[in-house]
Amino acid sequence: MIVVIGGGPAGRFAAMRLSKGGKKVCLVEKRSAGVGGQCLHQGCMTICALNDVARFIDLAGVFRNYGFIDSPGMVSYPVLIQKMQETIRIITGVLDQETKQAGVNIVQGSAEIQGSTLFIDGVKTPYEAVIVASGAHPRIPDIPGCCLSGVYTAHSILSMPNLPKKMVIIGSGVIAAEFAYIFSSFGSDVTILARSSLLRTFPMQLVKEARKDLSKVTIEEGITIAGISGDSSVTGVMLRDMDGIREITADAVLLATGMIPNIGFISGIECDSDGALIVNDRMETSVQGIYAAGDVTGTGFLTPVARHQGRKAADAILGNPFEPDLVAIPQAIKLKHDLAFCRMPGEVRKRFSIPGPAGPGTFWDVANHHTGSATIELDNEG
């Protein structure tokens, strides 16, 4: 029997590929809500759902300014979250059915690995091979006050009872920018506090476009956080600068400070300095017969990468030839517009950008000269 730990994109794709290859497969999923992983329950899909509403509000505002519709009204955040969760449950059901129809046995439970020994719900379990696809969880920075009520991560933000009046987002990456756009469109006063610079790994042209979409957001860069203030609940964030300590008031703080691999149930397998499982070119860990795929390997934290690694781990077990490894991986951010780029490894020597075309989703932004853009980057041989 092949045991796959985790029902996110890496685990599901691996499990279905193994089953179709003739193997008996047991997929162990700890999450009571079912398969789909953080991509469905706390990541990509929730961002898409919330972003749809944010864009609707923005577009309604444009229409109101043109004078041909009335005010669109206010967002009921609790109802929005309730309806979104209902749709997520439908998608979970579809994924569950698809996985079972592929011949995979799904078991809700907890796994533990001690070297080459596997336990499922405390019971020692024999296996032919194991694929660890346990994903990642938000990194909690070493900042005083992170345990206060009103401090959230991308995994807990959906538990927020109401829209905050003032939200502070600590972070500078995609998650920080996407939630900043969403909550500022919903009517919250949002401030991003970035230790370095906003979206520093993105091409400069896309960063410029992102700043346009974040025009309602206050962005402070090069910031040192001294702590999160409050007694039992959040009242603000303390910043340290050359003049001393100053405070930004807030009734909600979102920590968007990166992800770390979920390996708390594993011992006796080699990890790197960031806690990611180390794998070879066959996705096998330091323990023979135990493989890893997806975010737990610390590579990319992107759904396409996780799916590819899941398939590769399955092919290694099946003895199939591998798909070509990913060379240039598209990356995107959802704000008022979709901003995406695909960069080849190596130093960029040339780049040029062209404005996005007027069409669905951009027609009414033509007058504001804000239809997005596409950027092409070339190396020496381009």
Residue pair 189/167 in contact (Cβ under 8 Å)? The answer is yes
Report the C-alpha gap between 247 and 259 in whole angstroms.
26
Residue pair 254/169 in contact (Cβ under 8 Å)? The answer is yes
For the cut 90, the answer to whether the pLDDT of residue 306 exceeds it is yes
Cβ-count burial of 33 within 10 angstroms (0-12 exposed, 13-18 middle, 19+ buried)?
A: middle
Query: Residues 267-282: pLDDT tens digits?
Result: 999 999 999 999 999 9
Q: What's this model's pTM, rounded to 2 decimal places?
A: 0.92
State the SS3 of 35-78.
CCHHHHHCCHHHHHHHHHHHHHHHHHHHHHHHCCCCCCCCCCHH
Give me the domains of the chain, ranges plus CATH numbers. Answer: 2-138+259-318 (3.50.50.60), 151-255 (3.50.50.60), 344-378 (no CATH)
Query: Residues 71-104: pLDDT tens digits?
Result: 767 899 999 999 999 999 999 999 999 999 999 9
Average pLDDT, the chain: 91
